[in-house]
Chains A and B, each alone.
Chain A
Amino acid sequence: MDIAQKKYWRSIDELNQTPEFTAEASKEFAEEIPVDELLSSDSLGLEANRRDFLKIFGFSLTAATLAACNRAPVKKAVPFVAHPEEMSPTIATWYATTFSDGYDYASLMVKTREGRPIKIEGNTFSGVSQGGVNARVHASVLSLYDANRLQQPMIAGKSVSWSDFDAQLITKLEGLAGKPIVLLTNSIISPTTRRILDGFKAKYPTTRHVTYDAISASGMLEANQSSFGVSALPTYHFDKAEVILGVGADFLGNWISPVEFTRDYSKNRKISKGNPKMSRHIQFESILTVTGANADMRVTHQASKEGLVVANLYNAIAKLAGAATVSTTAHDLAGNAIAATAAELWAAKGKALVVCGSNDANVQMLVNATNNLLGSYGNTIDMAAPVYTRQGKDSDMETLLADMEAGKIGALITSGVNPSYDYYKAAAFTKALGKVEVSVAVSEQNDETVQKAKFVAAANNFLENWGDAMPAAGKYSISQPTISKLYDTRSLDEVLLALTGSQDTAYDAFKNTWKGIFSGSDATDFSSFWRTTLHNGVFEIAVIASQPAFKGNVGAAAAAIKSEGAEVELVVYEKLGIGNGSFAGNPWLQEMPDPISKTTWDNYLAVSVKFARENGLADGDIVKVAANGYEVEVPVLIQAGTYTGTVALALGYGRLNVSKAGLGIGANAYPFMSFNGSRSHVAGAVTVSKTGMKTALAQTQTHHTIEGRNIVKETTLDKYAVNPADGNVRPYVQMKQADGTFKKVYPGISRDAITLWDKRDYEGHHWAMAVDLNACTGCGACIVSCQVENNVPVVGKQEVINRREMHWIRIDRYYAFNEDGMKIDEEKEYGMIQNGDNVQVAFQPVMCMQCDNAPCETVCPVLATVHSDEGLNQMVYNRCVGTRYCANNCPYKVRRFNWFSYTDNPKFYTNPSQSDLGKMVLNPDVTVRARGVMEKCTFCVQRIQAGKLDAKRQSRGVNDGEIKTACQQSCPSGAIIFGDLNDPNSEVSQLFLNERAYGIIEELNVLPSVNYLTKVRNTNSIKA
């Protein structure tokens, strides 16, 4: 297949040419002008007609005139009484801290302004998260200002003081007469909390600690226990792997430590002429994940056949290795993929890595055995450096629930968990909670589990805490408060210390732990060690230990693997935005388009093309899904890349007790899980039946048309090795020379515009950005980071359906279909798609291109968008009158119009800046835009200005890489590079000269200041 001519499709809709799609595609602007809505908004309270319009117009004019006659209102300036030393108005203070909620872990730098945390960024000192932060952690800063937070301790629904709370609870705990106290928590990785827990156990000897992870790695823990005698996860080194096989493991999305893995993975995906090498990534999966979308080869399989796939893979490799095979049902995937992959893995022995997302201990045992044969341990997997971020064993929770139901539990203290929502038997858990004598919930949120608890200990937000974390052996990081407590709350540490009767504060306990860690380090002076650690946020020591030997019983594991499947199977999975659902009330995450489906504000049943066709389903049809004695009604979304016979529903939706932004969004998928040694994410025997109802899905990808243009350019690794410019044909013009000959001129390369207007000289800086399509995984961290940095409003589901989302950066996702060597180039070929599961995906982040010849600038009648001497396309809100001509004339469709006043129109209640608390998160360096003005990406001009100012103050030039845009800073794969094109040594100007660099639709001669590097697919299969 000629990849350069590959045809990309934005959606199934486009390919299928549905009537809705063709109707919308013909319009330049999809949205109708909402005059009626504007006039009938609550503030006016009128039905709209011409007379009313004139009345309002006349009245407004008069009122404005009269209002203008008055003096401006008196404003107050209220300085501090005692100015805190560490804080100055208008100057940001940064704190190093840690995010760890038992699901995500990241070492952070938190930006505070006037004492308020407003932005989270990665801590580059951390060897774990390595300066990367995912979308959820970016958005977590809003949880501090969440209206659903508990504000004081409560007993039986009544607010009490902490001293009463302590006294009453201690009496209750001491009067349990030998019945056990159970502490049910998420995976605790804090050494201090563990120490305090030991103290608690000493005081209350009947205490039992149960770890519960809503999405657990129980199968892996058990497999590692029986394989190596270590009940922990290993450290993975994706950067050392040349061939990676993922079997249902979404390691770039949600699996274990996605930020760390993305950082490592992308190191081997950045290629250059000098080093034309990249890793080869093969993915076997049943639904399309971000990881699968980035794979060089992706093969789908039935969800329940995961174990068989792994067992057959083991056998194939064992044959190559000359080891004993196991007895299992022979099974292969399309194109003998297992045998081919086994050969590739074996050829890369010692540099190969197999990861599997299964939660079945037997499957994971076979994966361990495979990795053992491949020599991965000690190379790409480090079992001697255990990872502690997942500690929950599913069977412990089963036992606990049985004990609770039997009335054997005296007291249950929950912390950081919400089993009344996210346990698959949530209803049973909630009921059993009634049989526990003393139920205590230590919770930050007023969530489902808190509802039934008698004692409710309002917990701190992580940004208010002292604490620490040890995500992996030898890798410590600290948490420090970035703001004083907003409410009368306590951390888990403080709650437990009080119940133990200790006089220590959480800070004392924390510091004492670190005195212990200090004594194990080679530092000599504690106070300087302490200061350095608080500053750096991390303390890491090398763990020198030998790899434990593999001693697993492979045969038994293979025999225990189940191979029977159902005709229709349901997979419940995690989305990159919502994850396990603990942040379902976060409007930024709800509005972040899912990287794959580009759907916001909902979960939906993802079905394959074939399944939809056979069952007469269309996008938005509401179906009833039933399995495991549970049923929900959800809309259907036809998702390319889904295995036929597999349907998928995302977890984390359908919350009942959550901030209003998340209320009533989607359906809860947790009850579809089942327990069989560990919790399974696959449900067999699923019935999907139509209800006859239909709803609209708020998808963003269908909001623009590409008119068949070649926007995503790509090549293959072998072609790249021959010609680095392969697949990157750049437009040129024939210019007549003085001697009558013609010369090819490439405006995009020479940046020498052939233009009607005066040429611009960029005498100082010329800001530009390069995006490596080969590194971008489409994870969407940049979208949330940009939203937080630039005060981008949340508009809500209906407005997204109306195509009025406000994100300044979007990630376009494209599909290419290639079935049995047949590519789909024309709409009429839609019928040729059998399953739609063999899909190639490309991601492309699109922000304002800051064109040198910007088409938007020439059409603005009021000069509200003009060009700067530094190459920026400036957008001046206070000049904009809202004609929207600029958006009409923008070839990239990156301009966003404020149709409404999102900050105070109650219709947009999901926008965080509508509440006083939510306003705290606004960035004071960026104007909050009013109704009726256009806005767009500014290249984070506030950061450019601040960076230049720093340079001027220190009387020096701006160093390359010193100024980072928000999207660049947040990108876990380092796909975005920003810098000065006028500096010939800057990374970005080097990248602009790269053979892979191109601008989108540069034949328009708009000279975009954003260039993309072609995507390179490693289609070379290494022959054994």
Chain B
Amino acid sequence: MNQNRGFNLSRILLSAATLLTLSSPFNKLQAQPDGAALYNNNCAACHRIDQDLVGPALGGVTERLEEAYLISWIRNSQAVIASGDQYAVDVFNKWNKVAMPAYDWTDEEIKSVLAYVKEQSAAAATAAAVPAAGDAAVAEDDSFPISQILWVVIFLFAAVIYFFVQQRNKLEEKFEEQVASGNIDPSKLKEIKPSFKVKPIHAIGGGLTVFLLAAIGWGVDVANHVGIQQGYQPSQPIAFSHELHAGTHEIACSYCHVGVERGKSATIPAVNICMNCHNQIKKDAPEIKKIAAAWENNQPIEWIRIHNLPDFAQFNHMQHYKIAGIECQTCHGEIQEMAEVAQHSTLTMGWCINCHRETKVDLDNGYYQAVHGNKESFQVALKEKGLTIANLGGLECSKCHY
């Protein structure tokens, strides 16, 4: 289940190339910024450029229909249908008679939206021409594993041994030269010269030492990673994409993770939250059908849990998100870019503590003013550099363990 974390140069290059290709059409300078915002805030809930949603795909709509017709449709689609326009009536019937809301926009605004749609249609066409990219570049492991240090040490150790063996063999040769040249009496050689020859036992000993060191290095590395599931990226029973929901559609995290503003747990959304939108949107997609099935059969979805804290660690989402104002991404990584969620952080105590050491507390909160406000040290800290969580006891055991 773990993603391959090895370096694969060709994949990285391919991904980089793909990203470069894809990025240019997204450059917002080319479209009316007004139009993009209007589109995303009003149209995107029901329309896509390249696929049908609640309403039809909008790709190429500016070529299919005249601008004036589109303007009147957007202003008040029901009026166009009521006028008996055949095309309008057909579209209305085809899309389950879901009425599109009327938008009281100026011509300029509507034109900017249409320009944006045109723009996007072109981009989608380009994207379709590029072969689908493989896995995105793998996030590099930014920690420096202790095993790598150990390998370097082992290498250096072996190099030093090699160097000494070389030197000794050279010395041996020199002795032999001296004997050969008659400077040393061969009968006395044993007395003045110890045996320099590297015997098999030495090689075995050396080998064993190297092996032992390697084993210890490996053991330390393993022990350091016990229970750490950083990068854990299981396949979920439903291929839910945060990239699509939180990224592309910019749905706020707390829309689905409702507990984050109130409770210890951010909560994994219940099926009814999915169904808020998906009883309309993309009902026929195979993954969505799984949700609908769960809803109809009253069968909860068994997601694979990714973030596992031990029971003795009392973490509170509300405290971090609501009171401290920590972004979800600080711990969960760029979740809006994850098609499949992986554990971003180590979730070790060291990782928690480190953040508590670095993060400044919002001293404007009335609690800190009330509890610490009359302390001189507090006022000094407030004026000068602020206080970290650690300064206010945030490293203490009972803050999290009880």
Contacts and interface: CB of A to CB of B under 8 A. Distances in A.
B314 A945 contact: yes
Contacts of B370: 951, 956-958
A763 B301 CA distance: 48
B78 interface: no
A527 interface: no
B10 interface: no
Contacts of A948: 367
Interface string B367-402: 101111001011000000000000011001111011
B265 A80 contact: no
A925 B263 contact: no
Interface stretch (A85-93, A261-269, A512-520, A697-705): A85-93
B314 A942 contact: yes
A953 B322 contact: yes
A18 to B, nearest CB: 41
A45 interface: no
Contacts of A89: 259, 263, 265, 267
Contact of B402 (A763, A869, A938, A952): A938
A74 B377 CA distance: 48
Interface string B338-363: 00000000000000000000000000
Contacts of A764: 371-372, 392-393
A878 B365 CA distance: 32
B311 interface: yes
Q: Which of A76, A79, A874, A957 has the most CB of B within 10 A?
A: A79
Given A72-B227, A870-B393, A942-B402, A79 B367 contact: no
Nearest to A956: B366
A56 interface: no
Interface in A897-945: 925-928, 938, 941-942, 945
Given A952-B323, A953-B322, A763 B375 contact: yes
A83 interface: yes
Interface in B203-224: 222-223
A75 B308 contact: yes
Nearest to B261: A953
B44 interface: no
A866 B372 contact: no
Interface in A430-472: none
B295 A81 contact: yes
Contact of A69 (B222, B300, B308, B377): B222
A927 B397 CA distance: 13
A938 B272 CA distance: 40
B165 to A, nearest CB: 35
Interface residues of B, number: 57
Contacts of A952: 319, 323, 365, 367
A78 B300 contact: yes
Nearest to A953: B323
Interface residues of A, number: 49
Contact of B316 (A82, A763, A949, A956): A949
Given A82-B271, A764-B372, A957-B367, A68 B223 contact: yes
Interface in B117-140: none
B226 interface: yes
B367 A74 contact: no
Interface string B256-296: 00110011110111111100000000000000000000110
A955 B258 CA distance: 22
B333 interface: no
A360 to B, nearest CB: 53
B229 interface: yes
Contacts of B269: 79, 83
Given A81-B294, A81-B298, A877 B268 contact: no
Contacts of A953: 318, 322-323
Contact of A79 (B303, B366, B372, B378): B303
B263 A81 contact: no
Contacts of B268: 77, 79
A952 B371 CA distance: 11
Nearest to B400: A945
Contacts of B378: 763
Interface string A2-33: 00000000000000000000000000000000
Contacts of A927: 311-312, 401-402
A80 B223 CA distance: 37
B97 interface: no
A83 B310 CA distance: 25
Contacts, number: 154
Contact of A88 (B259, B302, B372): B259
A872 interface: yes
A877 B302 contact: no
B304 interface: yes
A957 B366 CA distance: 6
B299 interface: yes
B2 to A, nearest CB: 8
Contacts of A876: 397-398, 401
A952 B318 CA distance: 11
Contacts of A765: 371
Nearest to B375: A763
A877 B400 CA distance: 12
Q: Which of A74, A81, A869, A949 has the most CB of B within 10 A?
A: A81
A928 B263 CA distance: 21
Contacts of B375: 763
A689 interface: no
B308 to A, nearest CB: 6
A723 interface: no
Contacts of A958: 367, 370-371
A980 to B, nearest CB: 8
B234 interface: yes
Nearest to A955: B366
B189 to A, nearest CB: 51
B222 A68 contact: yes
A903 to B, nearest CB: 12
A876 B262 CA distance: 27
A834 interface: no
B396 A90 contact: no
A32 B35 CA distance: 80
A77 B323 contact: no
A521 interface: no
B305 interface: yes
A868 interface: yes
B162 to A, nearest CB: 33
Given A763-B378, A957-B370, A878 B259 contact: no
B101 to A, nearest CB: 28
A88 B227 contact: no
A76 B237 CA distance: 11
B270 A955 contact: no
Nearest to B349: A878
A192 B322 CA distance: 45
Contact of B311 (A928, A941, A957): A928
Contacts of B298: 81
B310 A878 contact: yes
Nearest to A982: B371
Nearest to A83: B270
Interface in B9-36: none
A764 B374 CA distance: 10
Contact of A90 (B234, B259, B299): B259
Contact of A77 (B223, B258, B304, B401): B304
Given A81-B295, A927-B402, A945-B402, A868 B397 contact: yes
A81 B262 contact: no
A68 B265 CA distance: 28
B193 to A, nearest CB: 47
User: Can you list the 3 inter-chain pairs with the closest CB atoms, starting with the nearest?
Assistant: A957-B370, A955-B366, A83-B270
Given A88-B258, A764-B393, A941-B398, 8 more contacts: A78-B302, A89-B265, A90-B264, A869-B392, A874-B396, A876-B398, A953-B322, A958-B370
11 contacts: A68-B222, A69-B222, A74-B304, A79-B300, A81-B272, A81-B299, A869-B393, A942-B314, A951-B370, A953-B323, A957-B366
